[in-house]
Amino acid sequence: MSTTTTDETVSSTPPDKRLPTPARRKRLFVVLGVVAVLAYLSDQLTKLVALDLLADGEPRPFVGELIRFKLIGNPGAALSLGAGNTWVMTAIALAVLAAIVVVARQLGSRAWAVALGLLLGSAIGNLTDRFVRPPGGGQGHVVDFIDYNRWFIGNVADIWIVSAAGLIVVLALLGIGVDGRRDHGGSKSDGASGRGDDA
């Protein structure tokens, strides 16, 4: 008798409505995709402009000497770290792409969709350089052209990566998970709506 009661209780338990519906998740995937495409295009188009206008190698002041435009080819990561290990940088970028795809399967938050889209588009943008810029074959030099007070030189993809990182930090501080649910004192909650958080 007790077994029957337990089975009935389990079978009558409603599904977790806090998780995003398939329709909502599809909309969030669209948001992620659109943001990724925009991030990628803005990165690649500005690089093409930089290659055309800054080919002479002369720096161009933008905000005085604080921010200048100066074209370089970066074989490494930010701050030219790992310049002698370009293949390692390419492998790391591919791993980041794989991680984004895995995390995106849990997507239930619009803000997370934006953050992951920025990361995805930027990673693909810099990976494109690795394969199409000289010397190519996964060892190409990333086009950098924004000189920050001679501290380091980056590109638009780097701006989107930093923006995404900042957004992820804010979401973490607010306790909003990738699935859109809020973490209140260690327990997941989505508020009165019973759906994923709109953040």
Determine contact, residues 164/119, Cβ cutoff 8 Å: yes
β partners of residue 68? 61, 147
Helix 110-132 / helix 86-104 crossing angle, nearest 10 deg: 150
Q: Which of 43, 144, 179, 197 is catalytic?
A: 144
Residue 50 lies in a domain: yes
**Annotation says 158 is catalytic:** yes
Range of the domain at 63: 21-180
* Tens-digit pLDDT profile for residues 51-98: 999 998 889 999 988 999 999 998 866 555 555 566 777 888 899 999
Q: Provide the pLDDT confidence category of residue 135 given band limits of 50, 70 and 90.
A: confident
Q: How far apart are CA 175 and CA 182, in angstroms?
A: 5
Residue 126 lies in a domain: yes
Would the pLDDT of 47 be above 50?
yes
Residue 7 lies in a domain: no
The total of other beta-carbon atoms located within 10 Å of residue 199's CB is 14
Residue 199 lies in a domain: no
For the CA atoms of the chain, what is the radius of gyration? Answer: 22
How far is C-alpha 95 from the chain's CA centre?
A: 13
Q: For the chain, what is the domain count? A: 1
pLDDT at 184: 61
Mean pLDDT of 32-41: 98
Q: Which of 43, 129, 147, 158 is catalytic?
A: 158
Answer yes or no: pTM beyond 0.85.
Answer: no
* Tens-digit pLDDT profile for residues 7-30: 444 444 444 556 678 888 999 999
**Annotation says 52 is catalytic:** no
Alpha-helical runs (H) found in 72-144: 86-104, 110-132
Would the pLDDT of 120 be above 90?
yes
